[in-house]
């Protein structure tokens, strides 16, 4: 028997089979990848393993002992640690308080709990080579990448036997992905079982030695990564061949400027930003993480107010004092954190989709149910959202399907300018292909898109040109023939691209 053995696991939600008689095994000192489309059953399997979700039939064994945990704390005590795709940290308490939440701290000398956990957190952060985060800093003040690191440390520092990393790299900057890779190697040496979930094939090959592929709630194959090609894995995952992962780039740029930004400045994050965005154009935002990309999109969507500068739409100055004003002008944003900024998790899928466009389906205070159904059916079909029952809470969806809901609800507004912040984060290969096609189709229809991604390959293959940011300024604009990964990286570190 393997060190971790899952036998015959099944789980059904209403009429939807999330897991169907699934078998899975992994051993100590092994980094085992899980690969599959959004909604393939990966998250449900992990939730069952961590006792966050009950299962209908099946058994789980860890080191030969049958697990009987019915609560996440019991699973954690048994040695199961899960870093979920959606962060579980509490934003208005400190890093130290988050790390020691629910843990009794022994205190023999009447020293305050706060002082003890701050000192212990300082030691933990040093052990994990995190020197730029203070124990007393409130989690809400951290960047998304820093929050992800704390989430990882919270799980790993509890000496769990099994460490599950669910899309743990998707929120990390490039240098912090290297930090995680180093940590995973250490965990492997410690003979822990590491389960690694990602949609990035390069990372799977760098981190893992074995991969199990899920499709429609079933385990459809386990492979040694040094004996299988990416094309075979993707075909197994999707049940079909994907041709043309990136759509063909056709110049659809019109001679009409949709959005113009003049001398835009915001606190210490943006300094004299100037650029134009034409109808039919897809423009990327590149550069190393934390160089003002998020602040730029927030300013353009009315989420923050710039202290200086001007924003023009169709040649006319517009005031974007809040997101509602931006949406009224046809500017919408797919935000950085879908769970806290893009969705109301407790509401249904239907309610989340309809929130921005209630005026389209109401008349004299009454909802037109036919229009409502038509809008919802179109939204679900256009992005192939796996919903089961559309009245289920949106939090019941996988991370990738949640991201589809965010995008679909904004598309129902028929925007002129679409702002995308790393919108393929946590999305499977097949869905990325659909989303890239959608972006190019929208451009062909005359829309304009401003698109930030942490994946330089996406910028190169989807965008017409890329604005490279550094220190809150636009340092370069790279287009067409010169638009390569190498040139974006060179511009990011201050080199001139000829």
**Domain assignments of the chain as residue spans, ordered by start:** 4-92+138-238, 257-492
Between vectors from CA 215 to CA 425 and to CA 39, what angle results, nearest 5°?
45
CATH number of 4-92+138-238: 3.40.50.300
Rounded to an integer, what distance in angstroms lies between the CA atom of residue 404 and that of residue 392? 15
- Closest CA relative to residue 198, chosen from 17, 393, 26, 432: 432
pLDDT of residue 498: 62
Pairing of strands 57-62, 4-13: antiparallel
The side-by-side arrangement of strands in the sheet containing 417-421 is: 331-334, 417-421, 448-452, 282-286, 465-470, 473-479
Rounded to an integer, what distance in angstroms lies between the CA atom of residue 73 and that of residue 71? 5
- Cα 460 from chain centroid? 20
Rounded to an integer, what distance in angstroms lies between the CA atom of residue 111 and that of residue 162? 33
E strands in 379-447:
417-421
Instruction: Dihedral sign for Cα 138, 140, 145, 151, please.
Output: positive
pLDDT tens across the length of the chain (498 residues): 899 999 999 998 877 789 999 999 999 999 999 998 878 899 899 999 999 999 999 999 999 999 999 899 999 999 999 998 888 899 999 999 999 998 887 766 657 888 899 999 999 999 999 989 999 999 999 988 899 999 999 999 988 999 999 988 888 887 889 999 999 999 999 999 999 998 888 889 999 999 999 999 999 999 999 999 988 888 898 887 766 678 889 999 999 999 999 999 998 899 999 999 999 999 999 988 889 999 999 999 999 988 899 999 999 999 999 999 999 999 999 998 888 889 999 999 999 999 988 888 888 888 888 888 998 998 898 888 888 789 999 988 877 788 889 999 998 888 999 999 988 887 777 778 888 988 999 999 999 999 999 888 899 999 999 999 998 999 999 998 899 999 998 888 778 876
Sequence-distant (≥ 6) Cβ neighbours of residue 154 within 8 angstroms: 89, 98, 99
pLDDT of residue 335: 92
pLDDT of residue 430: 76
pLDDT of residue 110: 59
Rounded to an integer, what distance in angstroms lies between the CA atom of residue 422 and that of residue 453? 4
Contact 338, 287 (CB under 8 A): no
* Tokens found for residue 41: 């059953």
Classify 30 as helix, strand or coil: coil
Contact 464, 447 (CB under 8 A): no
- Residue by residue, DSSP assigns 39-89 as TSSHHHHHHHHTTSS--SEEEEEETTEEP---SHHHHHHHTEEEE-SS---
CATH fold label, 257-492: Rossmann fold (3.40.50)
Q: Give the number of residues written for the chain.
A: 498
Same fold, 4-92+138-238 and 257-492: yes
Beta bridge partners of 417: 331, 448
pLDDT of residue 108: 63
Beta bridge partners of 211: 33, 223
Phi, psi of 466 (to 5 degrees): -130, 130
Rounded to an integer, what distance in angstroms lies between the CA atom of residue 46 and that of residue 34? 10
């Amino acid at each position: 028997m393997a060190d971790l053995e899952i036998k015959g696991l099944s789980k059904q939600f209403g009429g939807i089979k999330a897991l169907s008689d699934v078998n899975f095994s992994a051993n100590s000192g092994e980094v085992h990848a899980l690969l599959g489309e959004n909604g393939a059953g990966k998250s449900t399997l992990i939730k069952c393993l961590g006792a966050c979700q009950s299962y209908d039939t099946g058994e789980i064994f860890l080191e030969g002992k049958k697990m009987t945990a019915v609560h996440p704390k019991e699973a954690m005590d048994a040695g199961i640690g899960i870093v979920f795709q959606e962060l579980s940290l509490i934003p208005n308490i400190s890093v130290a308080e988050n790390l020691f939440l629910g843990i009794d701290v022994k205190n023999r000398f009447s020293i305050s709990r706060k002082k003890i956990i701050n000192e212990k957190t300082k030691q933990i952060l040093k052990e994990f080579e995190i020197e730029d985060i203070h124990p007393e800093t409130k989690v809400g003040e951290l960047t998304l990448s820093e929050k992800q690191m704390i989430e990882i440390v919270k799980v790993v520092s509890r000496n769990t036997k099994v460490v599950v990393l669910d899309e743990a790299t998707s929120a990390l900057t490039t240098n912090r992905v290297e930090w995680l890779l180093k940590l995973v190697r250490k965990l492997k040496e410690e003979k822990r079982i590491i389960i690694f979930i990602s949609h990035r094939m390069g990372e799977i090959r760098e981190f893992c030695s074995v991969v199990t592929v899920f499709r429609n709630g079933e385990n459809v194959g386990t492979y040694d990564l040094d004996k299988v090609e990416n094309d075979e894995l993707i075909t197994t995952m999707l049940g079909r061949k994907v041709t043309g992962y990136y759509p063909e780039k056709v110049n659809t740029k019109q001679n009409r400027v949709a959005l113009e930004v003049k001398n835009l400045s915001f606190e210490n994050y943006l300094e004299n930003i100037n650029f134009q965005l034409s109808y039919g154009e897809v423009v990327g935002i590149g550069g190393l993480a934390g160089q003002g990309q998020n602040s730029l999109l927030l300013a353009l969507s009315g989420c923050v107010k710039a202290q200086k500068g001007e924003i023009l739409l169709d040649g006319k100055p517009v005031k974007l004092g809040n997101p509602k004003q931006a949406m009224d002008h046809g500017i919408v944003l797919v935000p950085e954190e879908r769970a806290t900024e893009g969705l109301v998790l407790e509401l249904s899928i239907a309610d989340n989709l309809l929130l921005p466009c209630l005026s389209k389906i109401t008349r004299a205070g009454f909802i037109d149910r036919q229009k409502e159904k038509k809008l919802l059916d179109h939204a679900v079909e256009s992005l192939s959202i796996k919903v089961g029952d559309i009245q289920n809470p949106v939090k019941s969806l996988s991370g990738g399907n949640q991201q589809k809901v965010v995008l679909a609800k904004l598309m129902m507004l028929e925007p002129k300018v679409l702002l995308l912040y790393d919108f393929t984060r946590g999305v499977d290969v097949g869905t990325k292909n659909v989303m890239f096609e959608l972006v190019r189709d929208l451009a062909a229809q005359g829309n304009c898109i401003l698109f930030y991604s942490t994946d330089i390959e996406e910028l190169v293959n989807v965008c017409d040109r890329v604005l490279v940011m550094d220190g809150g300024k636009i340092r370069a604009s790279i287009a067409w023939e010169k638009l390569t990964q190498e040139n974006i990286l060179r511009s990011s570190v201050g080199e001139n691209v000829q």
